[in-house]
Structure 1
Amino acid sequence: MNQSTSLRILYVFCDYLSTLAALLLFVVVRFHLEPVAHMMGSVGAMMSTTMVRLELLLFPLLMLFVYWLTGYYNEVIMKSRLQELLETLHSALVGMAVFFLIAMINDVDADRFNTYKLISILAAILFSCTYLMRVALTTAVRKRVADGRICRHTLIVGTGPKADSMYARLKKVSRVMGFQVEGFVSTGKSADNCLRNCNVPVYTIDSLKNMIASGSIQTLVVISDDAGINPTLEIINKLLPLECDVLVDAEFYQKLSAPVRTQNIIGEPLVDVSHPMISGSTANIKRFFDVAISAVALLLIWPFMLVLALLVRMDSPGPAIYRQERIGRHKKPFTIYKFRSMYINAESSGPSLSSPADTRITPLGRRLRKYRLDELPQLWNVLRGDMSLVGPRPEREYFIRQIVEKAPSYTLVQQVRPGLTSWGMVKFGYASTVDQMVQRLRYELMYIDNISILLDFRIIIYTIKIVLTGKGI
């Protein structure tokens, strides 16, 4: 278990204790301020009631879910104190509203002002208990980071003078950013400068997988190649599937036609290319809606999907469900599921894109594509976590290589889960050539730069409109 996981568990445990303590204190306050409560005789008698026991059992667990939705547990080593204050206040207000709607909206106390006063007190107690516990824990963690006892074990990918310079800069800000450079990763060039000036080990890229899997390395800082963007992108593409933070300098990131946004004003200006620049709350809420909507949709429409599967089997020989390998987040391959819309062996001569007049498409398949019904089985991909409801459309490795040659910024698409629908599909539609895929890419990059829950819902609404009007192709 690495340091981040241990700290995350500790934060969750402390939040549970502080929330439970806040609720116990609120029960005491409620006993003294709510006239009806006096009829129970004592605080102990009030706590022994079924309703209060349920509150004590379920409310802390519900609040842990709220804390997760705010993204509080996403980053545990280098927390922003201001962000921590705002997230705790927001969570307390949400907890107040939830408790009122579930436990107090039907309160028998006729004095509604007293009820509102009580839930305001609950918010204040919940905020105070949770924030004090969090501040104490975060202060202790920061002290351990400054002492070097908690750190982000880091490797610099690249060798030579630029890597040597990065090593010196990261050592200088280690007390602030928590980087502990464990060595360099050779990309095939001479490592003499690093060995002579820094006296740290140099590893190969092939050895990274085991090091990261063992938890001994959490962060990779990639040094951009002076020869151009493509050599550095090739390295990044090798590192993305390793499931660790991959950072580049801001200057290189800007070369990908991507704006740099950061709140870090003290440490080294590095940009994480393995994750989109969105808040933890947006990422978690997005995933929550992915799971909830896909699960409900599958439960509701499975009879309809069964009918479609039978129609596909009747329309032409072959299986109803078509499986194909696509490349997902962090360049991880996954199996995508679709209702088969082409005749079997349609790509016997190699991968090729379809077009509106494609003779490989079956009669029923043309109707399925028009209304995007062939995509429905991908709800299972969304539920599994391979995909999201909204995100850049997943492509095959064969076409990705061609896209990257024309548009290196495609690498940024793999920061996020691919989507069942996307801004590119709504605005551009299907692509029948690689050049059209490159044109559609600008919408996918715009999406990544503007990800929000509201934008996702707008794209879903437009997708539903396309489905209902049959403008899929």
Structure 2
Amino acid sequence: IFRKSRLSEIIRLARVSLLGTVVIFFALLLDDQGVSNYHAYYKTFAAYYLLHFTFTAVLRLWAVSSVQSLVRRGIISFPTLLVGGSQLARTTYHELLRTGRHLGLRLVGYAPVGDAAPDAELAAALPLSGSYQRLPAIIRAGRIEQVVIAIEPSEHRRIQEILTLLEGSPVRVSVLPDLYQMLLGSVKVTHLFGTPLIEIKQDLLPVWQQVLKRVIDVVGSALFLVFASPVYAFTALMVRSSSPGPIFYRQPRIGKNGVPFAIIKFRSMYVDAEKAGPALSSDHDPRVTPWGRFMRKVRLDEFPQFWNVLKGEMSLVGPRPERQFFIDQIVQIAPHYRHLHRVRPGLTSLGQVKYGYAETVAQMVERLKFDILYIENMSLAMDFRVLLYTLKIIVEGRGK
């Protein structure tokens, strides 16, 4: 609450109050039978809006001001961990000490990075919490709520490693920005702590978009399962007649927050196609049946996954889920792959429509940049564009 801008709150409240007033006015107050003068309606509308807005604004501003006062007086504070042990970390410590009080930051320790000895002044001022490689355990033990990464912005791989370690931890994370990022305006930089810091987004979508995305998933999947039932029946019949074996194929995949689930597909390969072990498919894969090859071109084999979407294991749009066998290989090359587990996997993805199917682990890593791009720019508008592009690929038969 204390981080909220009063002006932003007033503007947002004005919009919400107007919408609520219009809905209630037309739903409950408007009854034009026998009415000859509509000026009373307009006065009622204005009076109700002003009353609602003024009353709510006063209460909200009082709540925000009260919490901010408690924060400034130190009654409310947030345990903060400094990651880094160099001179830069010491400078950041002093700036946080000087300007972080009004944000409730209470520095409780530091976690050095690298083999170099920690800065002596920093070591004397803050207790050593442990190595940065133990960050998840340190956060749990110390009930840390804010982490500030104070290492050189040029150490991209080290920062990436730290962010991967922090994945899934319920903390706010800030990092020092690169000068070129600030000059180019490619990131949103705040100056709340004296030294500019980049706040790592925790909520990828606004709450209303999260709710609406799930509603679209459920309604869209349910309608598709009902209206496409003749297609399901015909496809099942063709799978049964094309080769011996079951109609559906279930395979363990890794979903949101690393939770495994069973993905469902129409079987497109011969039975026991992976008896020699997991293997990615290729353009001329002999394990694929003739009918299975056609299904893959038009994505028919993916249709049963609407059931996964309906169950909440997947979404219509999101990074494609992979098997643990391949994830273990990918993270050796690209540890940031774990960021994909922040969201539900999708029936289709930006990586799939822009890059296509991957035949090797190296190609899966190459495709990863599109999925990261999707996650960092998630919106309902982005989902709509991905769905349209997927439809285009299906119509053109450009699937694998």
Q: Same fold (TM over 0.5)?
A: yes
Where 2:250 maps in the other structure, the secondary structure is: strand
Letter in 1 for 2:283: P
Structure 2 partner of 1:455: 382
Aligned to 1:81: 6
Asked whether 1:128 is paired with 2:54, we answer yes
Contact 1:253–1:271 (Cα < 8 Å) also in 2: no
How far apart are residue 106 of structure 1 and its match? 5.4
Whether the 8 Å CA contact 1:155–1:184 is kept in 2: the answer is yes
For residues 178-237 of structure 1, the C-alpha deviation after alignment (integer angstroms, 9 at most, x for no partner) is 322221235564665367332324135676546655782222223446894323322321
Same amino acid, percent of matched pairs: 35
Corresponding residue for residue 216 of structure 2: 293
- Equivalent residue, structure 2, for 1:63: none
Contact 2:217 2:315 in 1 (8 A): no
Deviations 1:248-271 (A, max 9, x none): 22129959x992113545644322
Unaligned ranges ≥5, structure 1? 1-75
Question: Aligned equivalents of 1:386 and 1:77: distance in 2?
Answer: 35
Q: Which amino acid aligns with 2:12?
A: E
2:85 aligned partner, one-letter code? T
Taking structure 1 as reference, are residues 210 and 384 closer, same or farther at Cα in structure 2, changes over 3 Å only?
A: farther
> What is the match of residue 197 of structure 2?
270
| Structure 1, 117-126 or 411-420: larger mean CA deviation | 411-420
Conserved 8 A contact 1:260-1:271: yes
Q: Relative to 1, partners in 2 of residues 1:158 and 1:363: Cα closer, same or farther, differing over 3 Å?
A: farther
Distance 1:345 1:162 in 2: 57
Could you tell me whether the CA contact under 8 Å between 1:176 and 1:267 is conserved in 2? Answer: no
Question: For 1:361, what is the secondary structure of its paired residue?
Answer: coil
Matches of 1:377 and 1:131, distance apart in 2: 49
CA RMSD of aligned residues (A): 3.9
For 1:98, the equivalent position in structure 2 comes to: 23
Give how far 1:441 is off: 4.2
Q: CA 1:284/1:371 → structure 2, altered by over 3 Å: closer, same or farther?
A: farther
1:153 matched to 2:57: no
User: What is the rounded CA distance, in whole Å, between the counterparts of 2:10 and 2:222 in structure 1?
Assistant: 40
Matches within 5 A, 1:379-398: 379=306, 381-382=308-309, 387-396=314-323
Q: Identify the structure with the greater helix proportion.
A: 1
Partner SS for 2:285: coil
Q: Aligned partners of 1:466, 1:100: CA distance in 2, in Å?
A: 47
Classify 1:198/1:449 alpha carbon distance in 2 versus 1 (closer, same or farther; 3 Å).
same
Q: Which moved more, 1:147-156 or 1:189-198?
A: 189-198
2:89 counterpart residue number:
163
1:9-408 aligned within 5 A: 76-104=1-29, 108=33, 110=35, 111-187=37-113, 189=115, 192-193=118-119, 196-204=123-131, 208-209=135-136, 212=139, 216-224=143-151, 228-251=155-178, 254=181, 259-264=186-191, 267-273=194-200, 275=202, 282-302=205-225, 304=229, 307=233, 312=239, 315-318=243-246, 320-326=248-254, 328=256, 332-335=258-261, 337-339=263-265, 340-379=267-306, 381-382=308-309, 387-396=314-323, 399=326
Shift of 1:103: 2.9
Aligned counterparts of 1:433 and 1:410: Cα–Cα separation in 2: 15
Distance 1:350 1:122, change over 3 A: farther
Q: Partners in 2 of 1:210 and 1:266 — Cα distance? A: 26
* Partner of residue 428 from structure 1, selected from 348, 352, 355: 355
Alignment partner, residue 51 of structure 1: none
TM-score of the two chains, using structure 1 as the length reference: 0.68
CA contact (8 A) 2:351 2:370 kept: yes
Secondary structure (helix, strand or coil) at the match of 1:203 reads coil
Structure 2's unaligned 5+ residue stretches are none
CA displacement 1:34-75 (0-9 Å, x = unmatched): xxxxxxxxxxxxxxxxxxxxxxxxxxxxxxxxxxxxxxxxxx
Deviates more, 1:286-295 or 1:398-407: 398-407
* 1:353/1:433 contact within 8 Å kept: yes
Which residue pairs with 1:39 in the alignment?
none
Post-superposition offset of 1:142 = 1.0
Structure 1 residues 312-360: Cα deviation after superposition (integer angstroms, max 9, x where no partner): 566542472423233646xx34325231433454444444332232222
Which letter does structure 2 place at the counterpart of 1:147? R
Displacement after TM superposition at 1:175 (Å) = 2.2
Note if contact 1:324-1:336 (Cα within 8 Å) is conserved in structure 2.
yes
CA spacing shift, 1:135–1:226, aligned 2, 3 Å: closer
Amino acid at match of 2:352: M
Whether contact under 8 Å (2:79, 2:106) holds in the other structure is yes
Query: Is the Cα contact below 8 Å between 2:318 and 2:350 reproduced in 1?
Result: yes
